[in-house]
Amino acid sequence: MLRPPGRFALATLATWRLTHLLAEEDGPADAVVRLRARAGESWVGGLMDCFYCLSVWVAAPFALYAARRRREAPLTWLALSGAACLLEQATRERPAPTDEKGDPDGMRMWREAAGVEER
C-alpha cells in the first residue's frame, strides 16, 4: 500500500496523463478526436479544448484516492489539478525565444561583445 506522498504522486501523474489524452491527443483509433468532435461547441467541448479547465474535473476522482481523509479531498483536488498544470507547463514544447530581429535571444549581444559583424 502506498503512503500518502506516493498516492499523491501517482494521482498527479494519472491526472496529467488523462487530461493530456483528452485535451491534446487523438487517442487510440482516434476515439478521443471523435469524442471531441461529438462534443462540438457544447460546454464539454469547450472544456476539452482547455487543458487547465479540464484538469480540474479530471482531478476530482483522483482526489478521493489521494486524500488521507474526506475533509482533505477538496484541497487535494485543487493540488492535483495544480500539479498537473505544472507538469503540462514543464513538458510543453516552446519555440526558442528570439529578439526583435528574429535572432535567438542573447545572440545579438554575444556577437556585439565578441566583435562579430551581423550579416
Q: Per-residue pLDDT tens, the chain, 119 aa: give them.
A: 678 889 999 999 999 999 999 999 999 999 999 998 999 889 888 888 899 999 999 999 999 999 999 999 999 999 999 999 999 999 988 776 666 666 666 666 666 767 766 55
pTM here? Answer: 0.75
Closest C-alpha among 50, 4, 45 to residue 24? 50
Ranges of each domain in the chain: 4-91
Q: Read out DSSP for 38-107?
A: HHTTSHHHHHHT-HHHHHHHHHHHHHHHH-SSGGGHHHHHHHHHHHHHHHHHHHS--PPPB-TTSPBTTH
